[in-house]
Amino acid sequence: MPKGNDGGRKAKRAGTRPTIIAPRGTIRPHKGFDEEAALAQAKILRTALQKPTNTNAIIGVLTKHTLEERKYVEDVYNAQHSPPLQEALRHEFCGHLRETLLALLQWPNQYLAGWTQRAMRGASTDQKTLFEVLCGREPADLQDCGADRPAYFAERLYRAMRGLGTDEGTLIRILVTRSEADLENIKEAYQRRYGKSLADAVEDDTSGYFWRCLKAIIKP
């Protein structure tokens, strides 16, 4: 194809559509993440889950690898050890840290289906959560969320933290499910709109290993 044609099309496109910034996540795939690599990470988890528990090492393995890599590590771990990884984590940790570590090991469809059910239970359906889960699904749903999806998620995060208290569930859900998709863009949108970095905002609202785990996902 002649180069001139391509350039012409691009110019025409730029004139008719808003500029689309490439979505970027904070968690990126490792090149050639093979069985050997998965075994090495599973070994780190196994050692870290023995007494004394090395929480930082566990957070490291689960936040430095993509979901596909994490599931590979989990498979390798479960083939060698009992109880299975998720059960071991559930036993070892509690509260919001446990919720985050387990969320990092769920396939999105399953994980978000769980949230959909939670949002529909109870006296009043949580429309905002339902809408957010829908928005996060596929690019085809983007028009329903307005053109600026990172700004939308930045606002959801802001609202989850503003005032007294924190909606930790929303914080965990958005940070975990956007980490490979567009969390870098959400961080930029947050800084632009609220004049504060997302990492600083999350630090003000969380503490301990829960904060360390979220910080490792945000990668400030």
User: According to the binding rule CB under 5 A, does residue 174 interact with Ca ion?
Assistant: no
Distance CA(213)–CA(152), nearest Å, equals 23
Residue 89: CB minimum distance to Ca ion, A: 27
User: According to the binding rule CB under 5 A, does residue 97 interact with Ca ion?
Assistant: no
CB 152 within 8 A of CB 135: yes
Write the binding mask 54 to 93 for Ca ion: x where contact by CB under 5 A, - elsewhere.
----------------------------------------
Q: Which part of the chain contacts Ca ion (CB under 5 A), choosing from 33-41, 104-112, 159-167, 171-179?
A: 159-167
Distance CA(75)–CA(85), nearest Å, equals 9
Residue 31: CB minimum distance to Ca ion, A: 39
Q: Which is nearer to Ca ion, 116 or 166 (CB)?
A: 166
Q: Which two tokens stand for residue 109?
A: 């469809």
Write the binding mask 179 to 208 for Ca ion: x where contact by CB under 5 A, - elsewhere.
--------------------------x---
Q: Which is nearer to Ca ion, 72 or 153 (CB)?
A: 153
Q: Give Rg (Cα) of the chain.
A: 19
CA atoms within 13 A on the CB side of 187: 22
User: According to the binding rule CB under 5 A, does residue 161 interact with Ca ion?
Assistant: yes
Q: Please name the amino acid found at residue 122.
A: G
142-158 per-residue burial string, b: 16 or more CB within 10 A, e: under 16 = eeebeeebbbbbbbbbb
Residue 156: CB minimum distance to Ca ion, A: 14
Q: Which two tokens stand for residue 131?
A: 């809408």
Q: Which part of the chain contacts Ca ion (CB under 5 A), choosing from 97-105, 164-172, 178-186, 190-198?
A: 164-172
Instruction: For residue 110, give the 3-state DSSP assignment.
Output: helix
Residue 204: CB minimum distance to Ca ion, A: 7
Residue 165: CB minimum distance to Ca ion, A: 6
Q: Which is nearer to Ca ion, 102 or 175 (CB)?
A: 175
Q: Which two tokens stand for residue 116?
A: 């959909």
Distance CA(85)–CA(81), nearest Å, equals 8
Binding site for Ca ion (CB under 5 A): 161, 166, 205
